[in-house]
């Protein structure tokens, strides 16, 4: 089979839909861990298949410029999506131990799911502005995670909730925060794909960094 960069792009879109599904189900108490494992297994199979396709594409096509960036970005995004599925499994594991309903966790979940959708949209649309917006929103997830730790440590200390309950909530929040980080990585991959700029580790005054500052480019 002779692959094209567009086919690689389509494969990552299919993979992302599966990951969005597992993330949405992770905190649904009607969904069993076995069901989550089944979806994770699908994700793992996709992950391997896409990596294999990228290797074949690079070997057969020797792509350059935008096509090479597409192949590299697909491989990196593929890895981030697979790690998100792992976090979803962990969320389900800890989530079954959470007996109460907590607005902070609900808010974090909603924010993270919106971030993931926006990052995938940025990839589909090759939209640098949308990708930089995702990066900016990650700080809110970090703030919410810190708030969860503060609030639930306090509740455990006062005996308002059990240690198991509080620790489980904190673990769920940490998983959500990690998904936010992985989503930010995807947004950075999109920026690299579109502009050729690598903005990881604060490298240079890139196009994306100018967007983040609200400057015209």
* DSSP annotation string for 59-127: HHH---HHHHHHHHHHHHHHHHHHHHHHHHHHHHHHHTT--S--HHHHHHHHHHHHHHHHHHHHHHHT-
Dihedral over Cα of 12, 42, 142, 109: its sign: positive
DSSP code, position 204: S
pLDDT of residue 42: 96
Domains and CATH numbers, the chain: 5-212 (1.20.58.220)
Per-residue burial over 179-214, b if 16 or more Cβ lie within 10 Å, else e, is bbebbbbbbbbbbbbbbebebeeeeeebbbbebeee
pLDDT of residue 125: 96
Distance between CA atoms of residues 175 and 39, nearest Å: 18
pLDDT of residue 45: 97
pLDDT of residue 181: 98
Q: What angle do CA 184, 38, 96 make, to 5 degrees?
A: 75
Per-residue burial over 91-112, b if 16 or more Cβ lie within 10 Å, else e, is bbbbbeebeeebeebebbbebb
pLDDT of residue 217: 47
Distance between CA atoms of residues 204 and 206, nearest Å: 6
Q: Residue 87 has which token pair?
A: 């976090």
The pLDDT profile of the chain, 217 residues, written as one tens digit per residue, is 567 888 999 999 999 999 999 999 998 878 888 999 999 999 999 999 999 999 999 999 999 999 999 999 999 999 999 999 999 999 999 988 887 889 999 999 999 999 999 999 999 999 999 999 999 999 999 999 999 999 999 999 999 999 999 999 999 999 999 999 999 999 999 999 999 888 876 654 455 556 556 555 4
Tokens 């989530």 belong to residue: 95
pLDDT of residue 140: 97
Phi, psi of 31 (to 5 degrees): -100, 130
What stretch of H or E contains 158? helix 128-158
């Amino acid at each position: 089979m002779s692959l094209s960069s567009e086919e690689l792009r389509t494969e990552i879109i299919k993979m992302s839909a599966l990951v969005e599904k597992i993330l949405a189900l992770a905190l649904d108490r009607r969904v069993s861990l076995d069901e989550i494992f089944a979806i994770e297994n699908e994700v793992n199979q996709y992950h391997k298949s896409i990596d294999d396709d990228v290797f074949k594409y690079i070997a057969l096509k020797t792509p350059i410029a935008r096509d090479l960036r597409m192949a590299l970005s697909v491989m990196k995004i593929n890895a981030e999506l697979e790690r998100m599925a792992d976090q979803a499994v962990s969320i389900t594991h800890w989530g079954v131990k959470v007996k109460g309903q907590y607005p902070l966790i609900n808010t974090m979940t909603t924010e993270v799911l919106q971030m993931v959708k926006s990052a995938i949209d940025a990839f589909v649309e090759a939209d640098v502005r949308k990708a930089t917006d995702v990066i900016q929103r990650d700080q809110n997830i970090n703030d919410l995670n810190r708030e969860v730790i503060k609030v639930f440590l306090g509740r455990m200390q006062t005996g308002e909730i059990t240690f198991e309950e509080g620790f489980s909530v904190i673990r769920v929040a940490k998983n959500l925060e990690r998904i936010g980080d992985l989503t930010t990585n995807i947004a950075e991959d999109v920026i690299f794909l579109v502009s050729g700029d690598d903005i990881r580790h604060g490298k240079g005054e890139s196009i994306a960094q100018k967007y983040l500052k609200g400057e015209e480019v």
